[in-house]
């Protein structure tokens, strides 16, 4: 098994500065976060709705939900706030809504990263306005130096410095999303 795993970890390319968080560390943290969520929602009476924010959350969501023992269902939402650049504009647009109604349900928004906070701030306010029973958030990564609006983060994987990161769902021009680790990107000048 060890051999299979080491073969499956792709090496750093020239565009990547270093591995910031390795695959095993991510998996261990996901298990801890899932355990917290299992404890907090142990008494839930109907399934928790996990809403993954496309696209970046899809790998974190897939790993997290498979460690959950509380009843849950999966849904997705797509938003855009970056336009064509790498800076959030703060102008969040809803591109695709959830399939099911969130009214009267407990909702956990699943995100890969909190940067400025505009996306999660928009989603939390939007979901609360729909008559949900509760809205909580989980992010695998957060960059405290970049926050522009305060967001109540319930379950945080890792706090990271203000560097461009890729892997484990995060992309740079749609590349590197499927790396099993988080790497720091070397941004070309
Ligand atoms: C990224 C990330 C979050 C958002 C966080 O999404 O996945 O959704 O930005 O940034 P914020 O805190 O500044 O709002 P992106 O727009 O890159 O789309 P993607 O997930 O499809 O890659």
Residue 48 Cα to ligand 1 middle (Å): 23
Which atom of ligand 1 lies closest to the CA of 80? 16
Is 115 one of the annotated active-site residues of the chain? yes
Tell me what pLDDT residue 129 has. Answer: 97
CA distances from 25 to 22, 53, 94, 181, 182 (A): 5, 23, 33, 9, 10
Which atom of ligand 1 lies closest to the CA of 88? 13
Tell me what pLDDT residue 14 has. Answer: 83
Q: Region 25-44: what's the mean pLDDT? A: 98
Q: Region 120-138: what's the mean pLDDT? A: 97
> If pLDDT is split at 50, 70 and 90, which confidence band does 165 have?
very high
Tell me what pLDDT residue 10 has. Answer: 76
pLDDT tens, 65-85?
999 999 999 999 999 876 555
Tell me what pLDDT residue 127 has. Answer: 97
pLDDT at residue 128 greater than cutoff 90: yes
- Compute the CA torsion angle 71, 75, 81, 87 (nearest 10 deg): 60
- Lowest-pLDDT range of 12-16, 119-123, 129-133: 12-16
**Helix H segments across 16-153?**
23-40, 58-65, 118-128
pLDDT at residue 188 greater than cutoff 80: no
Residue 92 CB contacts under 8 Å (≥ 6 apart), including other chains: 79, 80, 81, 118, 119, 122, 123
Length of the chain: 189
Which pTM value belongs to this model?
0.92
**Helix H segments across 41-117?**
58-65
Q: Region 54-58: what's the mean pLDDT? A: 97
- Within a 13 Å sphere around the CA of 128, how many CA atoms are in the beta-carbon half? 9
Q: 3-state class of 4 per DSSP?
A: helix
How do strand 155-159 and strand 93-96 relate by DSSP bridges?
unpaired
């Amino acid at each position: 098994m060890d051999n299979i795993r080491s073969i499956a970890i792709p090496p750093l390319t020239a565009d990547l500065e270093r591995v910031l968080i390795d695959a095993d560390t991510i998996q261990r943290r996901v298990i801890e976060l899932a355990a917290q969520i299992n404890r907090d929602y142990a008494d839930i009476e109907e399934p928790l709705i996990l809403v993954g924010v496309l696209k970046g959350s899809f790998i974190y969501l897939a790993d997290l939900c498979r460690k959950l023992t509380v009843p849950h269902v999966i849904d997705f939402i797509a938003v855009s706030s970056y336009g064509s650049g790498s800076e959030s504009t703060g102008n969040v647009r809803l591109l695709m809504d959830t399939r099911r109604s969130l009214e009267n349900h407990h909702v956990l928004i699943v995100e890969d990263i909190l940067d400025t906070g505009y996306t999660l701030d928009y989603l939390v306010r939007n979901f609360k306005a729909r008559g949900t029973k509760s809205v909580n958030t989980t992010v695998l990564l957060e960059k405290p130096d970049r926050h522009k609006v305060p967001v109540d983060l319930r379950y945080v994987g890792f706090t990271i410095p203000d560097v461009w990161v890729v892997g484990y769902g995060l992309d740079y021009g749609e590349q590197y999303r499927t790396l099993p680790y988080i790497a720091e990107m070397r941004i070309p000048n």
